[in-house]
C-alpha cells in the first residue's frame, strides 16, 4: 500500500457524499405519501379480513373492514385507493354481467368509501376478469380462444358508467382492449359524468409478476397437479419484449381522452416508464404489482435481502424513471417507516 499515492484531479464527486446532510441536499428524487395509491382487496361478508398467503400484510377486506382500513390509511396521509373485488363464483359468468351491476361488490365498496370518506380518491378498476367464469379480461368467441374486442368494450363502457355513478373519481381500464378509452369517455360524457377521469392502463404487459394478485382475487385457474398454470393473456396484454408498442398504446390512449397513462408492472419496465414519460404530456402512473411486492417480502423473510432498503430502493427507482404516481402495496409500510 502506498499511502502517498496522489491523484491530481479537480473533480471529486465523493465530496457530495461526505455526510448525510449533504446527501440530503443533493437528493434528486424523493418518494412521498402524496405519490402513492394503495390497491385494496374487497370480498363479500361482514366483519372480516383474511391475509393473502402470497402477499404478507395484505388483506381481503369485507366492506366494513375496508372502511376501518381506509380510516387508517387517511390517518397516515394516503389519499387514494384502488379497490379490487374478489367476486364469489356465483357472480361469475360467460357474459360478465355482474361487472356493470350497480349493486356489485365493487360498486357497493366504492359507494361506502365515498360516503364515509369523501376526501378519499377512489380509482375503480375496469376489467372483466373478476367477473368471467374463465378469468379472462373479456368475452370469448365461439372457438374459446380469442377475446371479442368490441363486445368486451361495450360491457366495459357500461361498467365504467356504473362505477362512476357509484362514486368513483377515476375509472381505470386495465383490460387492454382496443378503443376502450374512447368508448368509455363517450359513455361517461353521455351520462353527464364529464368530471370522472380516466387512468388508462396503457402499457400493461403480459407479465408473470401478476401471480399473487390472481390468487388474491381468485381469478387464477385451478391448480393443475402441483404446478399452477396462469392464464395466458398475450392476446391482449403487451409483449414484454416490446417498447415501441408501449408508446403507441400510450399515445392512442392520450388521443382517445385518457387523463393519466399507466405502465405496469414497474420495476422490470423502468425503461418503458421513462419512454412513456418522454412522449406524453399526461401524468404517468406506474403499478408496482403483486409479484414485485411478494418477491421482496419472500427474500426478506429468508434473510436474503433487507426488507426496508429493498422496498425503498424499488420505489425510488420507479419515481426516478419518471413515474408521477405509484400504485403500491407497500404504501402503508413505506409511510410508517419514512415519516
Q: Tell me which residues touch ligand PBG (CB under 6 A).
A: 125, 127, 129, 137, 174-175, 210, 213-214, 233, 289-290
Active-site position among 92, 233, 264, 277: 264
Q: Distances from the Cα of 39 to the Cαs of 129, 169, 213, 283, 326, in angstroms? A: 16, 15, 11, 19, 10
Q: Which lies closer to ligand PBG via its Cβ, residue 213 or residue 269?
A: 213
In the complex, what is the shortest distance from the CB of residue 155 to ligand PBG, in angstroms, rounded to a whole number?
13
What three-state secondary structure class fits 121?
A: strand
Q: Which lies closer to ligand PBG via its Cβ, residue 69 or residue 205?
A: 205
What three-state secondary structure class fits 148?
A: strand
Active-site position among 43, 92, 204, 277: 204
In angstroms and rounded to an integer, the radius of gyration of the C-alpha atoms of the chain is: 21
Q: Which lies closer to ligand PBG via its Cβ, residue 96 or residue 193?
A: 96
Q: Which lies closer to ligand PBG via its Cβ, residue 180 or residue 214?
A: 214
In the complex, what is the shortest distance from the CB of residue 47 to ligand PBG, in angstroms, rounded to a whole number?
26
Q: Which lies closer to ligand PBG via its Cβ, residue 173 or residue 322?
A: 173
In the complex, what is the shortest distance from the CB of residue 297 to ligand PBG, in angstroms, rounded to a whole number?
13
Considering only CA atoms, which of 61, 96, 59 is closest in space to residue 219? 96
Alpha-carbon distance of 278 to 260, in angstroms, equals 14
In the complex, what is the shortest distance from the CB of residue 156 to ligand PBG, in angstroms, rounded to a whole number?
11
204 is catalytic: yes
What three-state secondary structure class fits 226?
A: coil
Residue of minimal CB distance from ligand PBG?
A: 213
264 is catalytic: yes
Helix-then-strand count for the chain, H and E: 11, 12
Answer whether the bond into residue 230 is a cis peptide, omega within 30°.
no
Considering only CA atoms, which of 37, 28, 26 is closest in space to residue 284? 37
In the complex, what is the shortest distance from the CB of residue 44 to ligand PBG, in angstroms, rounded to a whole number?
19
Burial (CB < 10 A; 0-12, 13-18, 19+), residue 23, is exposed
Q: Which lies closer to ligand PBG via its Cβ, residue 3 or residue 232?
A: 232
Contact of 326 with 336, CB cutoff 8 Å: no
In the complex, what is the shortest distance from the CB of residue 52 to ligand PBG, in angstroms, rounded to a whole number?
11
How many Cβ atoms sit within 10 Å of the Cβ of residue 118? Answer: 11
What three-state secondary structure class fits 322?
A: coil
Known catalytic residues are 204, 264
Amino acid at each position: 500500500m502506498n499511502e502517498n499515492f496522489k491523484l491530481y484531479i479537480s473533480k471529486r464527486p465523493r465530496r457530495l457524499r461526505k455526510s448525510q446532510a449533504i446527501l440530503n441536499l443533493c437528493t434528486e428524487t424523493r418518494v412521498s405519501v402524496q405519490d402513492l395509491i394503495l390497491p385494496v382487496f374487497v370480498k363479500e361478508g361482514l366483519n372480516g379480513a383474511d391475509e393473502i398467503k402470497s402477499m404478507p400484510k395484505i388483506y381481503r377486506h369485507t366492506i366494513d373492514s375496508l372502511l376501518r382500513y381506509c380510516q387508517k390509511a387517511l390517518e397516515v396521509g394516503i389519499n387514494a385507493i384502488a379497490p379490487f373485488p374478489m367476486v364469489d363464483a356465483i357472480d361469475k359468468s360467460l357474459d360478465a354481467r355482474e361487472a356493470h351491476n350497480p349493486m356489485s361488490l365493487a360498486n357497493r365498496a366504492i359507494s361506502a368509501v365515498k360516503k364515509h370518506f369523501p376526501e378519499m380518491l377512489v380509482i375503480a378498476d375496469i376489467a372483466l376478469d373478476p367477473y368471467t367464469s374463465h378469468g379472462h379480461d373479456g368475452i370469448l368467441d365461439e372457438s374459446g380462444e380469442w377475446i371479442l374486442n368490441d363486445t368486451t368494450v361495450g360491457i366495459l363502457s357500461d361498467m365504467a358508467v356504473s362505477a362512476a355513478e357509484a362514486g368513483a373519481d377515476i375509472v381505470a381500464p386495465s383490460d387492454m382492449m382496443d378503443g376502450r378509452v374512447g368508448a368509455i369517455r363517450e359513455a361517461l360524457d353521455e351520462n353527464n359524468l364529464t368530471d370522472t377521469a380516466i387512468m388508462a392502463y396503457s402499457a400493461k404487459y403480459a407479465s408473470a409478476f401478476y401471480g399473487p394478485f390472481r390468487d388474491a382475487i381468485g381469478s387464477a385457474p385451478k391448480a393443475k397437479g402441483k404446478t399452477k398454470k396462469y392464464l395466458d393473456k398475450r392476446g391482449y396484454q403487451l409483449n414484454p419484449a416490446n417498447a415501441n408498442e408501449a408508446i403507441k398504446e400510450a399515445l392512442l390512449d392520450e388521443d382517445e381522452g385518457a387523463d393519466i397513462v399507466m405502465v405496469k408492472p414497474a420495476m422490470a419496465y423502468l425503461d418503458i416508464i421513462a419512454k412513456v414519460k418522454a412522449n406524453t404530456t399526461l401524468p404517468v402512473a406506474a403499478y408496482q404489482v403483486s409479484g414485485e411486492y411478494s418477491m421482496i417480502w419472500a427474500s426478506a423473510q429468508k434473510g436474503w435481502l433487507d426488507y426496508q432498503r429493498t422496498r425503498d430502493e424499488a420505489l425510488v427507482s420507479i419515481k426516478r424513471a419518471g413515474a408521477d404516481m405509484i400504485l403500491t402495496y407497500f404504501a402503508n409500510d413505506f409511510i410508517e417507516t419514512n415519516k
